[in-house]
Structure 1
């Protein structure tokens, strides 16, 4: 293969030629992107002025194709810029109609947008709605927690949610299926004291449902826990024939965790332990112990013994 050897001056002229070519290409690209074009982007839609006397459900997806006018630069970056700015549709005419003509709202929509991001038309250009009876319902708030506690600390009492119920307003056929409304997740680490604050409710996903209020007050009692052991008497249950039954032993030792503030007040009267004689009729030779009553803030660590011997005299 022949190798072309260029002199220093020829190499310099060739370098200048390619540099000019590159600059001309860059200038051409800038000139093209500075022009005005029409292009289509997918836009998310939201609603305002929803009708108060009619519940509705959209019969289309929550996005539309919008034909926009802008520079080439805006066309290139449209998918990044416009997805962050949803189109807000005014629904006040739904009080009398069952559809919304989007193209009649273009001038109103463009007033709220950057002048360089004008919308020319929508596809589809009409939104249709399915109407049902509006329903108002109170439902329970379901808190969502992701809490990690310091060693020996835990919830020591009842969690308080105020208000405990929220009001939903929307289509009856949708709301009647909803029994609870969740909060946003409360995430905390290394907790060792009372948790108290405001928790937002999860956002409404459907535009035709409203929830009130939007937040609740949460209070979670947290204390340090310690272990305590008590002797608890064992009670026999399910003895319909009144057999003469003796159990051995008649008391068990129960070790449990308790908040420090309740340590001294807890005694055997807070607990109940039972054994079920019905299990003997099913072939059991020993009866397992069940703790049937204890404070909700306590947690069993150990039961000794876990099984009771018995003697039945018919």
Structure 2
């Protein structure tokens, strides 16, 4: 019985292989992959997912298609706009499929005369990214400059009526406490709901910030009086004002009195009997955390030259 069974199995295999090597005509399904979409169009959800075709090929090839469903790339750039629809004609469709079938496979006919592709017009615009974060610095530490977001804007592609509703894209909430060193965090972007046909160029952003320890330094800055009437001079009491500057230690070492300018405008007192001039800080250096005047006003005497 074992010998008989072995010969029976071998005979069946020989018969099976012999039949598979024959040429047949039958129908097979191919999964469609849409490629080369123009920038102005997007693929909708109602596009056909597969196509049926009648083929002539060997039984081995049909067996392969039964086990591993065939795939066809459809070049969407060749579609034509007809009667409000995007259509790929049968001739163009056959040509694309013939180019992808192996030499031992003949395409006999398709189950449709034209392939309708669900496409819709889209527009593209850049939307700014807004970081949504709560930053709490350690005492005596400051943030140098602003928090940077990369990318600071993303590209949005979709129907005009959808993307026109988007003014900005917010990041997921980020809480940073007791920060005393530079930081870099990657966070998700939060997209508005109800935009099923809109595509965003990225879903994440990186926020970075430079943090340094700050100190304080006091400067004695002379007061400059402007708009003095001709033939007169103004004497202020005092003739200088203390100024408190907060910045990083390295930055404070670089500063001098000439980096600041404090002005008192006599022209604001025309028609007034006031003996007080208000002070204004008109010049201060960059990359400092805070600058405060020790006094906002000074007394003065107007003398004729």
TM-score, reference length from structure 2: 0.53
Q: Which SS does the other structure have where 2:258 is aligned?
A: helix
Q: Distance in 1 between matches of 2:244 and 2:41?
A: 60
User: Does the 8 A contact of 2:264 with 2:279 survive in 1?
Assistant: yes
Q: 2:152 aligns with which of 139, 142, 164?
A: 164
Distance 1:243 1:161, change over 3 A: farther
Specify the alignment match of 1:143 in structure 2: 131
Specify the alignment match of 1:214 in structure 2: 203
**1:192 partnered with 2:180:** yes
Range 211-220 or range 172-181, more displaced: 172-181
Specify the alignment match of 2:219 in structure 1: 230
User: Does the 8 A contact of 1:257 with 1:299 survive in 2?
Assistant: yes
Residues 86-101 of structure 1: pairs in structure 2 closer than 5 A: 90-92=45-47
User: Does the 8 A contact of 1:51 with 1:92 survive in 2?
Assistant: no
Q: Distance in 1 between matches of 2:197 and 2:276?
A: 61
How far off its partner does 1:243 sit?
A: 7.0
Q: 1:261 aligns with which of 244, 250, 261?
A: 250
How far off its partner does 1:191 sit?
A: 1.0
Question: 5+ unaligned residues in a row in structure 1: which ranges?
Answer: 1-49, 56-88, 98-130
How far off its partner does 1:220 sit?
A: 0.5
Residues 12-161 of structure 1: pairs in structure 2 closer than 5 A: 53=40, 90-92=45-47, 134-161=122-149
Distance 1:279 1:166, change over 3 A: same
Q: 2:171 aligns with which of 183, 186, 193?
A: 183
Q: Which SS does the other structure have where 1:146 is aligned?
A: strand
User: Does the 8 A contact of 1:204 with 1:211 survive in 2?
Assistant: no
Q: Which SS does the other structure have where 1:297 is aligned?
A: coil
User: Does the 8 A contact of 2:251 with 2:287 survive in 1?
Assistant: no
Question: 5+ unaligned residues in a row in structure 2: which ranges?
Answer: 1-36, 49-80, 86-118
How far off its partner does 1:266 sit?
A: 1.9
Let me know the Cα RMSD of the aligned residues: 3.7
Larger Cα Rg: Structure 1 or Structure 2?
Answer: 2
How far off its partner does 1:299 sit?
A: 1.1
How far off its partner does 1:227 sit?
A: 1.2
Residues matched between the structures, number: 199
User: Does the 8 A contact of 2:169 with 2:191 survive in 1?
Assistant: no
TM-score, reference length from structure 1: 0.52
How far off its partner does 1:177 sit?
A: 6.2
How far off its partner does 1:279 sit?
A: 2.6
Distance 1:286 1:168, change over 3 A: farther
Q: Distance in 2 between matches of 1:234 and 1:92?
A: 76
User: Does the 8 A contact of 1:51 with 1:91 survive in 2?
Assistant: no
**1:297 partnered with 2:288:** yes
Q: Distance in 1 between matches of 2:120 and 2:241?
A: 62
How far off its partner does 1:155 sit?
A: 0.7
Distance 1:312 1:153, change over 3 A: same
User: Does the 8 A contact of 2:245 with 2:288 survive in 1?
Assistant: no
How far off its partner does 1:297 sit?
A: 3.2
Q: Distance in 1 between matches of 2:241 and 2:177?
A: 37
